[in-house]
Chains A and B, each alone.
Chain A
């Protein structure tokens, strides 16, 4: 049994290495956001996606509010629940000040994460978080507009044989829809809260 397992894992490692090599050779660099231009170059939020109720939501619908945009997928057992729970904690800690902030979770896995799936999943963490999905093309356009990265990674030991690699940072936009800064999904909620308090309270 153990030998079989070792052989199987070796095959997985080899397959991953080969696929990874091809992927890098095939222009992985082009798909990366120009490393961290996200934090320096100014840009505006830009999307047209579908919410829980099947309503089309665009960035313009959120003008006048601060927006905290982050990306993920619901078949993600580790990073995404942690990110969602960080946002939920931040909202709780902000209290009334947090009413000026709208967190928006955008899926990078629209094939599985339909608006109905997001409607069931995202509010479990906090009902104030809006979950958005769309067609593969809409998500691709959104990803480019937000300068984020996502990629389907084959993984035999994952549901449906794949997982998604993706930018896990939170992107903060001001009430005019202009990009302000990023936070990391695994940052201490208290750090994010104290920074937001200065901005939202001002």
Chain B
């Protein structure tokens, strides 16, 4: 899209002025600021993250799980659309479900709506942050930053404390 715009704009400028350099420079001046702006994250101000925690991992070969509660203090519904964490080469929200037969399974959660004035919990047995392709082991007692991505293109980075492998909740 942007490249096309640059081409179109450059061609238009070149044809008119026949000054290639000036044309390109003009096009770049118009496009570059928006490119830079697009990469600057917009912090989310309406969601509060409560009680983040993760289980320690044994090495890096298995996916780790992290949990937290999202509280929507704003006056619009917003959705959690994804996750990023430097410690994980592939992070996403998954959902565990257990049916009436005691059979548990897990699948990608998709977007998760956080109602106005309400909360959504990522907790064991339900939604969870699945951190795959670990770049380093999750070591008990340490923390790592995790960025939550929202439907309005805002994001929020939280420090997630790492509890033991057998931790059952935010209290450890």
| A65 at interface by CB-CB < 8 Å | no
Q: How many A-B residue pairs have CB under 8 A?
A: 123
Q: Is the CB of B101 within 8 A of A33?
A: yes
| Per-residue contact bits, chain B 65-88, to A (CB 8 Å; 1 contact, 0 not) | 100000000000000011000000
CA distance A158 to B106 in the complex (A): 10
The minimal Cβ–Cβ distance linking B20 to chain A, given in whole angstroms, is 32
CA A38 to CA B101, docked complex, whole Å = 9
A190, CB-defined interface residue at 8 Å: no
Q: Which of A16, A33, A77 contacts B107 (CB 8 A)?
A: A16
| Least Cβ–Cβ distance between B169 and chain A, in angstroms | 10
Q: Give the docked Cα–Cα distance between A78 and B128 (Å).
A: 7
Chain B interface bracket (under 10, 10 to 19, 20 to 34, 35 or more): 35 or more
Does A5 count as interface, using CB distance less than 8 angstroms?
Answer: yes
Bound-state CA distance A169–B22 (Å) is 71
Chain A residues in the interface with B (C-beta under 8 A) = 2, 5, 9, 12-13, 16, 32-33, 35-36, 38, 74-79, 81-82, 84-86, 88-89, 120-121, 124-126, 149, 151, 153, 155, 157-159, 163, 165-169, 182, 184-186
23 contacts between A and B (CB under 8 A): A2-B153, A9-B111, A36-B100, A74-B62, A75-B63, A77-B63, A78-B96, A79-B98, A82-B168, A85-B168, A86-B168, A88-B166, A124-B166, A151-B105, A157-B94, A158-B132, A159-B62, A159-B63, A159-B132, A163-B105, A166-B104, A167-B104, A168-B102
